[in-house]
Homo-oligomer: A and B are copies of this chain.
């Protein structure tokens, strides 16, 4: 850190400091800080960058009271320790921070009851808006939530009832790309280890798997095992499916947790099965063979959901929209037929 920046942090910067540094008027800074319209997006972005760099903060207390706003948003997910959710969390927190909002995070641990209690508590505490990865399709649609004016954006899974902004991932496209990749490499007997069918995404991926099997004319009834899974349960099922006259040669997993359970099961089994995992993971490159995955971009999904929420907080009253984010197949080698791979 330079002497200059030390000096800057010692004296609390003013709106005038931000205006001078960003080459805009104080009124423009004020508009950005107060989330008022009339500032070009690139200018607003530049002002926000200067605000963050200088560490400018307004005095919030009185202003918040006056506006009835708390400048707090919340994120409700299943489990903050799961990398899929922690990447969403980091992205939503960043969007909140650059807009001078604070983020409350809460884990509902997959329980619709707990999720409802958490969301009600957040609404009672007057958060300005909530991003939710809902536990099920009906979880948050009870009367209290419906009655509140609190904007909610759903992520990853939709919720029935009053339409609300929703950011989804292209589950059908993702699974289809996985099946097609395996078929292109000569696989005909492919199995799916899906997540708990209580989850909408798990059912979507199962449907996509069955539909793609059929559209590609693959033989036999689709082999599908839905979760919850453990390495032991995966191992048992795989033993069954690989000891038939038509042995399974490739497996698709339903998410990052199941990929790990499957990799552990395969290590114990020592069977040369091919694999495409759903969700990318940091060490996919380092497993032998490197794991081909359907890459969802949780950070981009979280950013998109937060941006939709802030649009609502700025007064956007257009009809609720559903955004479907594309997935991408990252080919690393594990989808090849294992008899043709070298170690």
What is the CB-to-nearest-CB distance from A236 to chain B, in angstroms, rounded to a whole number?
Answer: 20
Over the window 243-272 of chain A, the binary record of Cβ atoms lying under 8 Å from chain B Cβ atoms (1 yes, 0 no) is: 000000000000000001001100100000
Which of A29-37, A99-107, A212-220, A311-319 contacts its partner? Answer: A99-107
Q: In the complex, which residues of chain B have a beta carbon less than 8 angstroms from the beta carbon of A104?
A: 72, 102-105
- Chain A 71-130 interface residues, beta-carbon cutoff 8 Å to B: 72, 79-81, 83, 85-87, 89-90, 93-94, 97, 102-107, 112-114, 116-118, 120-122, 124-125
**Cα of A72 to Cα of B70 in the assembled complex, Å:** 13
| Contact assessment for A89 and B102 in the assembled complex, using a CB-CB cutoff below 8 Å | no
| Contact assessment for A81 and B72 in the assembled complex, using a CB-CB cutoff below 8 Å | no
Return the contact of A60 from the options B121, B267, B282 (Cβ within 8 A). B121
Q: In the complex, which residues of chain B have a beta carbon less than 8 angstroms from the beta carbon of A260?
A: 282-283, 286
| Contact assessment for B107 and A105 in the assembled complex, using a CB-CB cutoff below 8 Å | no
Which one of A79, A106, A263, A281 has the greatest number of beta carbons of chain B within 10 Å? A106
**Cα of A263 to Cα of B286 in the assembled complex, Å:** 7
Given contacts A93-B107, A122-B102, contact A117 B80 (CB under 8 A): no
A17 at the B interface (CB under 8 A):
no
The main secondary structure of chain A at its interface with chain B is helix
Stoichiometry, as copies per complex, reads 2
Which of A51-59, A178-186, A323-331 contacts its partner? Answer: A51-59
**Cα of A314 to Cα of B55 in the assembled complex, Å:** 33
Complex A-B: 28 CB contacts under 8 Å: A1-B112, A1-B113, A9-B113, A52-B114, A57-B120, A60-B121, A61-B124, A72-B104, A80-B89, A80-B93, A81-B83, A81-B86, A81-B87, A83-B86, A86-B86, A86-B89, A89-B89, A89-B105, A102-B106, A102-B121, A103-B106, A104-B104, A104-B105, A260-B282, A283-B283, A286-B287, A287-B287, A288-B288
Instruction: Using CB atoms and an 8 Å cutoff, list the residues of chain A in contact with chain B.
Output: 1, 5, 9, 52, 55, 57, 59-61, 72, 79-81, 83, 85-87, 89-90, 93-94, 97, 102-107, 112-114, 116-118, 120-122, 124-125, 260, 263-264, 267, 281-283, 285-288, 299, 343
